[in-house]
Amino acid sequence: MLSIIAPLDAKPGAQTDGVPLKSDPHAERTLPQPAAGASGPTHAQLRAVGEGRSPPLILADRYRVERRLGRGGMAMVYAGRLLSIDRTVAIKILNEDHRYRDDRLARFVAEAHMTSHLRHPNIVDVLDFGSTQEGVVFMVMELLEGEDLRAMVRRDGPLPWPRVQSLMRDICSGLSAAHHAGLVHRDLKPANCFYVDDTVKLLDFGVATHSSVSAGERMTSVEDDPTQTLDPGWTDQFTGDRRVIGTPEYMSPEQAQGHPVDARSDIYAAGILLGELLTGRVPFESTCATGVISAQIFDPPPTLQELGGEEFVVVEAIEAIYARALSKAPDDRFATIEAFAAAIAAVVPVTMHPRWWRRPGVMAAATTLAGLLAVMSI
């Protein structure tokens, strides 16, 4: 049996199968070693399952890998089943070339350890973690059947305020749990927010870090693909790797400059996400990642009115929330994610019409006195 990162009744600081589970952010995190005789498919055999060229295969003597759900630059995700209790699961497998890169392996291990301790309805559950004799490193999570917010916005376009409020409530709730655990997500974006059963769950804490940790001192390289998560240049806390961590379109100015980051960096990204749900656009777009990063650091963000176009109608309270969240200086933003969430919750829409904000000449929403006070004084 392979090492399990945290059984359902385990607590930080406990030990299971010889693997230390420490809540100390600087505690050593090691890859569980496969038990003698633990078997499983090779990476090539798993790829064949994902491509439909092979029937399901058994991983680590207890999971059946059935089909591929998605792929990324760092890992592949498969739908599978825990055989002992016939439970469906998602199995995230580190790409073979990253298995031998200390920085990527360390980040994968850190993601498993950190996420396993964030038991919250708005954060995906990590159930197991380990490796096999064949060199396959895997993480097992709850299987989510739904869609990410990127797909939702692409399909539906800008969303009505009541729906945005509901989505942002769940996002902020998940971030609150992470922040109270001392973690900063650092890569909040629609693709990492999964909508399932009328609830949003946060995904991918692979680049999360502990609050107020410096990302480094200077940028050393930048990739010119703004559609991908940027890995260009500073020291990462867990890996020692000098890389900028995050996605340019959602990166706070301090994160982009390698300054210390805390919960307010996630608030900046949450503000961008708020605007994107409302308008379908992010404040800064470019064909070059360096252009987006430069804008995040130096350029004032466009207003929601500017992003939404001539027919977009938005009240001042929502503009004020958005502007404050996107302040260049962290001290000028909301102090906590809870304060940001309270300001959003306080804005009361006049109508539930799905396109209320697009009607020219009509005031899109009204705010309660509490809402105005929340925006002005939190």
117-129: per-residue pLDDT in tens?
899 999 999 999 9
Q: Which range, of 55-64, 73-82, 98-107, averages the lowest pLDDT?
A: 98-107
Mean pLDDT of 285-307: 94
CA 60 to chain CA centroid, Å, is: 28
The beta strands (E) that lie in 3-131 are given as 15-16, 19-20, 57-59, 63-71, 75-82, 87-94, 126-131
Q: What confidence category does residue 245 fall into, taking pLDDT thresholds of 50, 70 and 90?
A: confident
User: For the domain with range 15-142, which CATH number is right: 3.30.1050.10, 3.30.200.20, 3.30.56.10, 3.10.129.10?
Assistant: 3.30.200.20
Residue 226 has pLDDT above 60, yes or no: no
Q: What is the mean pLDDT of the chain?
A: 79
Q: What confidence category does residue 350 fall into, taking pLDDT thresholds of 50, 70 and 90?
A: low
pLDDT > 90: percent of the chain: 58
Q: What confidence category does residue 32 fall into, taking pLDDT thresholds of 50, 70 and 90?
A: low
What number of CA atoms fall less than 13 Å from residue 185's CA on the CB side? 29
* Cα–Cα distances in angstroms (integers) from residue 180 to residues 56, 141, 174, 227, 337, in the given order: 40, 22, 10, 30, 10
Residues sharing a CB contact under 8 Å with residue 24, sequence separation 6 or more, in sequence order: none
The token pair at 44 is: 């090539």
Question: What is the C-alpha to C-alpha distance for residues 296 and 38, in angstroms, rounded to an integer?
Answer: 48
* Cα–Cα distances in angstroms (integers) from residue 38 to residues 35, 41, 122, 363, in the given order: 5, 11, 33, 64
Is 92 a known ligand-binding residue?
A: yes
CB 320 within 8 A of CB 375: yes
How many other CB atoms are there within 10 angstroms of residue 292's CB atom?
Answer: 25
Backbone angles phi, psi at 110, to 5 degrees: -65, -40
Instruction: List the CATH code of the domain at 147-377.
Output: 1.10.510.10
Residue 331 has pLDDT above 70, yes or no: yes
Nearest Cα to Cα of residue 77 among 186, 194, 179, 213: 194
Domain coordinates in residue numbering, the chain: 15-142, 147-377
Residue 36 confidence (pLDDT): 55
198: left (phi over 0), alpha (psi -120 to 50) or beta: left
178-208: per-residue pLDDT in tens?
999 999 999 999 999 999 999 999 998 878 7
Residue 148 confidence (pLDDT): 96
Residue 232 has pLDDT above 90, yes or no: no
The catalytic residue among 148, 187, 262, 266 is: 187
Residue 19 confidence (pLDDT): 31
249-264: per-residue pLDDT in tens?
999 999 999 888 999 9
Residue 220 has pLDDT above 50, yes or no: no
The token pair at 95 is: 């790409």
187: annotated active-site residue: yes
- Using the Cα atoms of residue 152, residue 323, residue 250 and residue 245 in order, give the sign of their dihedral: negative
C-beta contacts of 369-373 below 8 A and 24+ residues apart: 370/346, 371/317, 371/343, 371/346, 371/347, 372/317, 372/346
85-108: per-residue pLDDT in tens?
999 999 999 998 887 787 888 889
Backbone angles phi, psi at 171, to 5 degrees: -60, -45
Q: What confidence category does residue 243 fall into, taking pLDDT thresholds of 50, 70 and 90?
A: low
Nearest Cα to Cα of residue 350 among 317, 305, 307: 317
